[in-house]
């Protein structure tokens, strides 16, 4: 990117290129405030405010997710913002498995943001719900960041999914659920979801983060 375009991105969003996704519609690679970001038509997907939300969650975690012996499961890769935060900002040496249903998102993460699989990072093109049902691994931290544009799959809020993440989580492990509240319907949905989570975990909530994000942090204590 030219220095001039980078300068103007502090004044306005500068489009770079687009990708067409079956799951997320048009994916936009833009520049804003001197940074490359990933947007959909309706929201920021990676490297904007969403990254700040996830950083808030990671700062609130008391479980160990930094040592080489630990493992992290990311459900919903996006552009890989959380992977870079884990490695660069939080100095995590954990083994990371990232599950992403959208092959175009994976392509974007690799080509645009240099999220390259290696011995400590596995990227799995699969449905998160299906992956959990067959997983035999256990994780110290799970990050649930499942969006199709501005829609969260209904299964995320179901008891079956809660039991699935509980079963693959180590004792004293934590889960970050990134959700949002845009209407009274969402408010009721999240209230019921939190009540259900409390049957299995200790729960901490952060509402109205950078607008409408509702971050839910859980810890497995039994």
* HEC secondary structure over 131-195: HHHHCCCCEEEEEECCCECCECCHHHHCHHHHHHHHHCEEEEEEEEEEEECCCHHHHHHHHHHHH
pLDDT, residue 164, reads 97
| φ and ψ of 202, to 5 deg | -80, 145
pLDDT, residue 211, reads 75
Specify the pTM. 0.93
Mean pLDDT, residues 17-35 taken together: 91
Stretch among 10-14, 17-21, 28-32 having the lowest mean pLDDT? 10-14
| φ and ψ of 46, to 5 deg | -155, 145
- pLDDT per residue over 137-163, tens digit each? 999 999 999 988 778 999 999 999 999
- pLDDT per residue over 52-70, tens digit each? 888 889 999 989 999 999 9
Residue with tokens 């259900």: 196
Cβ atoms 56, 216 nearer than 8 A: no
Give residue 1's pLDDT band: very low, low, confident or very high (50, 70, 90).
low
- pLDDT per residue over 73-103, tens digit each? 999 999 999 999 999 999 999 999 999 999 9
pLDDT, residue 41, reads 80
pLDDT, residue 8, reads 76
Give percent of the chain above pLDDT 70. Answer: 97
Mean pLDDT, residues 158-182 taken together: 95
Q: Residues for the chain: how many in total?
A: 222
Mean pLDDT, residues 121-135 taken together: 96
C-alpha to C-alpha distance for 28 and 39, rounded to whole angstroms:
5
């Amino acid at each position: 990117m030219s220095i001039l375009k980078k300068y103007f991105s502090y004044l306005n969003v500068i489009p770079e290129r687009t990708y067409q996704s079956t799951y997320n519609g048009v994916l936009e690679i833009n520049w804003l405030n001197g940074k490359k970001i990933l947007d959909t038509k309706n929201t920021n997907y990676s490297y904007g405010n969403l990254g700040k939300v996830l950083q808030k969650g990671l700062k609130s975690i008391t479980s160990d997710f930094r040592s080489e012996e630990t493992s992290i499961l990311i459900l919903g890769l996006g552009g890989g913002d959380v992977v870079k935060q884990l490695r660069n900002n939080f100095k995590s040496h954990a083994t990371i498995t990232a599950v992403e249903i959208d092959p175009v998102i994976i392509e974007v993460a690799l080509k645009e943001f240099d999220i390259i699989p290696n011995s400590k990072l596995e990227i799995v093109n699969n449905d998160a719900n299906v992956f959990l049902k067959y997983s035999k691994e256990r994780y110290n931290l799970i990050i649930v960041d499942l969006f199709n544009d501005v829609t969260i799959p209904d299964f995320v809020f179901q008891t079956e999914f809660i039991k699935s993440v509980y079963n693959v989580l180590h004792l004293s492990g934590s889960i970050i659920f990134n959700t949002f509240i845009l209407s009274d319907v969402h408010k009721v949905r999240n209230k019921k979801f939190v009540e259900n989570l409390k049957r299995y975990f200790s729960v901490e909530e952060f509402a109205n983060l950078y607008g409408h994000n509702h971050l839910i942090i859980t810890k497995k204590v039994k």
